[in-house]
Amino acid sequence: MEFDFSPVIDYLPVLLQGVGVTLLIGVAVAVMSVVGGQIVAVITLYTRKMVNWPLRFFIWLFMTTPLLLQLYFLYFGIGEWILIPAIVVGVLGLGFHYMAYNADIFIATIKSVSSGQYEASRSLGFGHLATLFYVVLPQAFNRALPQLSNNMIIMVKDISVLSAIGIGEMVYVSQYAISVTFRPFEFYITITVIYYLINLMMEAGQTWIERRAAYRS
Amino acid sequence: MTQTTETPMVELKGVKKRFGDLEVLKGIDLRVDRGRIISIIGPSGSGKSTLLRSVNNLEVIDEGQILLDGVQVNRPDLKGLAFEKHINHIRQNMGMVFQHFNLFPHLSTLENVTLAPRKLKGVSTSIARELGMELLERVGLADKAQVYPSALSGGQKQRVAIARALAMQPKVMLFDEATSALDPELVEEVNRVMKGLAEEHMTMLIVTHEMAFARDVSDWAMFMDGGVVVEANTPEHLFSHPDQERTQHFLRKHLGTQG
């Protein structure tokens, strides 16, 4: 079998567009799931069980069902009533999915901040909320970083699942290119290399972030 | 202690505190005048730390009254947010130093010192920075301003913690076994800072195991055991000729192991 990468070169703009979509979705989902995860964790920890049970149910639901099912549910299920653009469904679906996982991490790391930290903050005159914002959450965030960045690396790969609802990310656009050029191998090799490069960069970022966080905790 | 007509800086009246069935403070009275330094000594579980923590409401007392400069600290009549507002205000006037330092690990040394003045008093970043550097200078750590707590020794951490408490310009400083977690060779540097404060007539309440230091620095010494003040006197008297047998026994044991 002969390799011919010239179709890949021809379709490079299309592929790069897919890379762009993947990265954009990745950033949106990362922001949504990290910010949302913290909010869910704080509400779960600091409100009464009666109030926060919907949130705990939400975490449980998203952690015990497959991502693909969640996406189908949001896109085709809810789509019966309201048509939501696929890209919105993709970001929300992945966002909620990883928000649940991140919330779980934040719950553990917020709990791990010692009572001495609360006392030191309160003794200076900070109230409950100020203590949470200035003292507890920054530390919980630093401690969560290793697991958070692991989650985000897995998340970027999971973006490929969004091809199932027709979002033009990397896998989807390469499928399209293959259907036209009939060169599956070359395209799959190319996007494998691109995924590898993205991962390499994320791991470098992870190492840097973790080293910084270790010094500050 | 000499009674004056001026409002005491800290006053405790019949303070009682229970943990479940255990009564850890059985009616404590104490008066600390402005600029005075009181040492509280006693065996573990005597209630001395609980007493100190009660002063700024880290422990909520069950009975009695605590006053800071004439203002009642414990306010059983205030609930929820009203009490929160009250106690936050009171605490801004009291500096507390803990056995385990409790520095904020995510902030640099300077940020540890400036956080409270910036966020609670609205002091501008540049002025807070000036104040913070001044305080770090005072505890001998100006060169560590940009360093994070993980890179400091125990003695340095505690000196930063003292600077952090001083940054709010408190009326009184509370020291809860400030040197107990330190290696012996690091105790002196912290004691030196505390002596410096004493010379500036800062009102201080010191819970300590350092008998020599307590004797040296304080105006008044209290021996607590079993939730009561067994004996209180000038340090010269309390440490050299204690009246009570329990005090004598404690000091013999403690000074014996120390020397």
> Does pLDDT of B252 surpass 60?
yes
> Does pLDDT of B259 surpass 50?
no
How deeply is B239 buried, as exposed, middle or buried, from its count of CB atoms within 10 A (0-12, 13-18, 19+)?
A: buried
Mean pLDDT of all residues in A159-184: 94
Mean pLDDT of all residues in B71-91: 95
Confidence (pLDDT) at B2: 52
Spell out which residues of chain A touch residue B104, defining contact as CB-CB under 8 Å: 117, 120-121, 135, 139
In terms of C-beta distances under 8 Å and separation of at least 24 residues, what long-range contacts does B255-258 make, across chains too?
B255/B211, B258/B211, B258/B212
Q: Which of A122, A215, A216 sits opposite B91 (nearest CB)?
A: A122
Q: What does the pLDDT look like over B83-126, one tens digit per residue?
A: 999 999 999 999 999 999 999 999 999 999 999 999 999 999 99
Judged by CB atoms closer than 8 Å, whether chains meet at A116 and B98 is answered as yes
Q: Which of B95, B104, B150 sits opposite A215 (nearest CB)?
A: B150
Judged by CB atoms closer than 8 Å, whether chains meet at B116 and A124 is answered as yes
In 3D space, the residue among A203, A204, A177 whose CA is nearest the CA of residue A189 turns out to be A177
> Does pLDDT of A217 surpass 80?
no
pLDDT interval class at A55 (50, 70, 90): confident
> Helix (H, G, I), strand (E, B), or coil: what is residue A177?
helix
Distance CA B58, CA A131 (A): 14
Mean pLDDT of all residues in A192-210: 93
Domain-embedded: residue B145: no
Domain-embedded: residue B132: no
Domain-embedded: residue B138: no
Q: What does the pLDDT look like over A108-142, one tens digit per residue?
A: 999 999 999 999 999 999 999 999 999 999 999 99
Contact residues of A toward B, CB < 8 A: 114, 116-117, 119-128, 130, 134-135, 138-139, 142, 214-217
Spell out which residues of chain B touch residue A119, defining contact as CB-CB under 8 Å: 58, 96, 98, 102
> Does pLDDT of B25 surpass 50?
yes
Judged by average pLDDT, the poorest of A16-20, B132-136, B254-258 is B254-258
Judged by average pLDDT, the poorest of A10-19, A50-59, A176-185 is A50-59
- Where would I find the beta strands (DSSP E) of A83-166? none
Q: What does the pLDDT look like over B32-41, one tens digit per residue?
A: 999 999 999 9
How many domains are there within chain B?
Answer: 1
Domain-embedded: residue B64: yes
Percent over 90 (pLDDT), chain A? 81
Task: Report the gap between the CA of B230 and the closest CA in chain A (Å).
Answer: 28
What's the whole-number average pLDDT of chain B?
Answer: 94
Confidence (pLDDT) at B4: 61
Instruction: Give me the total of CB pairs closer than 8 Å, taking one residue from chain A and one from chain B.
Output: 72
Interface test with B, best of A115, A123, A142, A215 (most B CBs within 10 A): A123
> Does pLDDT of B1 surpass 70?
no
Does 3.40.50.300 match the CATH number of domain A6-216?
A: no
What's the whole-number average pLDDT of chain A?
Answer: 93
> Does pLDDT of A143 surpass 70?
yes
Percent over 70 (pLDDT), chain B? 97
Task: Report the gap between the CA of A36 and the closest CA in chain B (Å).
Answer: 22
Which residues have CB under 8 Å from B72's CB, separation 6+?
B65, B66
pLDDT interval class at A215 (50, 70, 90): confident
> By CA distance, what is B89's nearest residue in A?
A125
Mean pLDDT of all residues in A162-172: 93
Mean pLDDT of all residues in B23-38: 96
Q: Which of A125, A135, A139 sits opposite B88 (nearest CB)?
A: A125
Distance CA A213, CA A144 (A): 9
Spell out which residues of chain A touch residue B120, defining contact as CB-CB under 8 Å: 124-126, 130
Domain-embedded: residue B197: yes
Judged by CB atoms closer than 8 Å, whether chains meet at A123 and B106 is answered as no
Judged by CB atoms closer than 8 Å, whether chains meet at B96 and A125 is answered as no
Tell me how far CA of residue A126 lies from CA of A41, A87, A140, B92, in angstroms.
Answer: 21, 42, 18, 8
Kindly report the CATH number assigned to the domain that includes residue B51: 3.40.50.300
> Helix (H, G, I), strand (E, B), or coil: what is residue B101?
coil
Spell out which residues of chain B touch residue A126, defining contact as CB-CB under 8 Å: 88, 116, 119-120
> Helix (H, G, I), strand (E, B), or coil: what is residue B204?
strand
Which residues have CB under 8 Å from B55's CB, separation 6+?
B10, B12, B66, B68, B73, B94, B174, B205
What is the extent of the structural domain holding B28?
A: 10-97+172-255
Confidence (pLDDT) at A97: 93
Q: What does the pLDDT look like over A63-112, one tens digit per residue?
A: 899 999 999 998 988 888 888 899 999 999 999 999 999 999 999 999 99
- DSSP state at residue B142: G
Mean pLDDT of all residues in B40-47: 94
In 3D space, the residue among A14, A151, A10, A138 whose CA is nearest the CA of residue A94 turns out to be A151
> By CA distance, what is B150's nearest residue in A?
A215
Q: Which of B103, B107, B168 sits opposite A125 (nearest CB)?
A: B168
Task: Report the gap between the CA of B145 and the closest CA in chain A (Å).
Answer: 14
Higher per-residue pLDDT: B25 or B254:
B25
Task: Report the gap between the CA of B154 and the closest CA in chain A (Å).
Answer: 15
Distance CA A38, CA B222 (A): 47
Confidence (pLDDT) at B258: 45
Spell out which residues of chain A touch residue B119, defining contact as CB-CB under 8 Å: 126, 130, 134
Spell out which residues of chain B touch residue A123, defining contact as CB-CB under 8 Å: 56, 58, 91, 94-96, 165
Tokens (6 digits) for A13: 């703009």
Judged by CB atoms closer than 8 Å, whether chains meet at B119 and A134 is answered as yes
Interface test with B, best of A124, A128, A133, A142 (most B CBs within 10 A): A124
